[in-house]
Structure 1
Amino acid sequence: MSIETWLAFLLACWIISLSPGAGAIASMSSGLNYGFLRGYWTALGLQFGLLLQIAVVAAGVGALLATSELAFRLIKWFGVGYLLFLAWRQWRAAPVDMHAASLTRPVGRPLSLVMRGFLINASNPKAVVFMLAVLPQFLDLSRPLLGQYLLIAITMVVVDLIVMAGYTGLAARVLGLLRSPRQQRLLNRTFAGLFAGAAGLLACVRRAAN
């Protein structure tokens, strides 16, 4: 993976991780209930689920993309369509009560919070589909794939840990400032624009030559 490709992937990681989803809601819920230091255990659990998703994608996609230009294009345009769908859904998202966003009340013990975060990510099939559509676009098929997937995993985990720290701290301290319907609509539409921008970037990506 070239430095230019990695920088593009790093930018994509920030856009994806900043977009509010189940992981962000779980982190905010833990921050609201237990404060930053205790609530951050949920973010650590999310990363174990993220690593599992990356491993699932890495186990089956590399060989297919290495031998099929058609498969690369199909996955690429599926990824573009999926990102545009997320943009549309985010634009139309209604304001929510953040206190009621969590499906289950978290247990205060660190191990329980880690397991809760892991299960949220590991049991999310949409996240696996998203990675299947996006991650292969950043691979250089002329180089060994294992090292590239390790770099991808480290980059995603580090960025997500930073972002989830922000969400957890935000919930623990100043989430009340973002609860009005107008503010939530503005936030949703901002992220809709980020999804659409990511779709445009992905549409420009080309398969690396062997």
Structure 2
Amino acid sequence: MYWTEFATVALVHLLAVASPGPDFAVVVRESVARGSHAGRWTALGVGAGILLHVAYSLLGIGLLVSQSVVLFNLFKWLAAGYLLYLGVRALRARPAPIELGTPSGLAAQSAWRSFSVGFVTNGLNPKATLFFLSLFTVVIDPQTPLLVQAAYGAYLAVATAAWFCLVAWLFSRARVRAGFARMGHWFDRVTGAVLVALGVRLALSELA
């Protein structure tokens, strides 16, 4: 009896996740610079960030954030600051060949770092907070059992991670990475400019 509601949730999510934003930018950057392993872990971090949004939406904390200018601005400035940090680091990139392999000794550290980048980028995004709040209050009927809503949330997290794993796979192909090898620092700088622009845009955003 919830298939129609689920289909609506899935469609809205598809339109949202396919729209380029901070998540897309960091997954692409990790994939091109460090390969598919790092890209996949970044994608999984983004998916885990979705679970965070789903959890507090179900608990009603998202409603509190949406109604509190102070809390909204706190999340906004934390997210904007993190995006600016990532962007400035990328803007300072120097010419260096992109290695097509990942040293096995750094695998665990790289996985945790990449996962953290994806999780923090998505988890601190107040726009995602408002998106999931509207999703769980407007699209999903309040009478829908919490267990069913939690199942929706699990799907959203898995679908998001799967989408960005596909993005990571595409941008970590040897041919694609080889194309960036000679101009990798310029790609980093362009990505950095995008992240800085997203950070500034987020910092100037208002609570709807």
TM-score normalised to the size of structure 1?
0.57
Cα distance in 2 for residues equivalent to 1:140 and 1:164: 28
Q: Paired residue for 2:124?
A: 123
Q: For the Cα contact (< 8 Å) 1:25–1:102, is it kept in 2?
A: no
Q: Displacement of 1:37 after TM fit?
A: 2.5
Cα distance in 1 for residues equivalent to 2:112 and 2:57: 27
Q: Does 1:32 align with 2:32?
A: yes
| Residues 13 and 138 (structure 1), Cα distance of their counterparts in 2 relative to 1, 3 Å cut | same
Structure 2, gaps ≥5 residues long: 65-85, 91-105, 181-208
Q: Displacement of 1:102 after TM fit?
A: 4.7
Secondary structure in structure 2 of the residue aligned to 1:109: helix
Q: Displacement of 1:49 after TM fit?
A: 1.4
Q: For the Cα contact (< 8 Å) 1:46–1:120, is it kept in 2?
A: yes
Worse-matched range after superposition: 53-62 or 146-155? 53-62
Q: Deviations for 1:159-200, whole angstroms, at most 9, x for unmatched residues?
A: 1122101221222234869xxxxxxxxxxxxxxxxxxxxxxx
User: What is the one-letter code of the residue matched to 1:22?
Assistant: P
Cα distance in 1 for residues equivalent to 2:139 and 2:166: 27
| Residues 171 and 37 (structure 1), Cα distance of their counterparts in 2 relative to 1, 3 Å cut | same
| Residues 63 and 160 (structure 1), Cα distance of their counterparts in 2 relative to 1, 3 Å cut | closer
Q: For the Cα contact (< 8 Å) 1:28–1:168, is it kept in 2?
A: yes
Task: Let me know the Cα RMSD of the aligned residues.
Answer: 2.9
Q: Paired residue for 1:138?
A: 139
Cα distance in 2 for residues equivalent to 1:2 and 1:169: 33
Q: Does 1:45 align with 2:45?
A: yes
| Residues 6 and 24 (structure 1), Cα distance of their counterparts in 2 relative to 1, 3 Å cut | same
Q: Paired residue for 1:182?
A: none
| Residues 62 and 124 (structure 1), Cα distance of their counterparts in 2 relative to 1, 3 Å cut | closer
Q: Give the 5 Å matches for 1:97-116.
A: 102=87, 104=89, 109-116=110-117
Aligned length: 139
Q: Paired residue for 2:78?
A: none
Secondary structure in structure 2 of the residue aligned to 1:45: helix
Q: Paired residue for 2:199?
A: none
| Residues 140 and 61 (structure 1), Cα distance of their counterparts in 2 relative to 1, 3 Å cut | farther
Q: For the Cα contact (< 8 Å) 1:24–1:164, is it kept in 2?
A: yes
Q: For the Cα contact (< 8 Å) 1:23–1:120, is it kept in 2?
A: yes
Secondary structure in structure 1 of the residue aligned to 2:172: helix
Q: Displacement of 1:152 after TM fit?
A: 1.7
Q: For the Cα contact (< 8 Å) 2:37–2:111, is it kept in 1?
A: no
Q: Give the 5 Å matches for 1:167-182.
A: 167-173=167-173, 174=176
Q: Deviations for 1:104-135, whole angstroms, at most 9, x for unmatched residues?
A: 46x96111111111111111111101221233
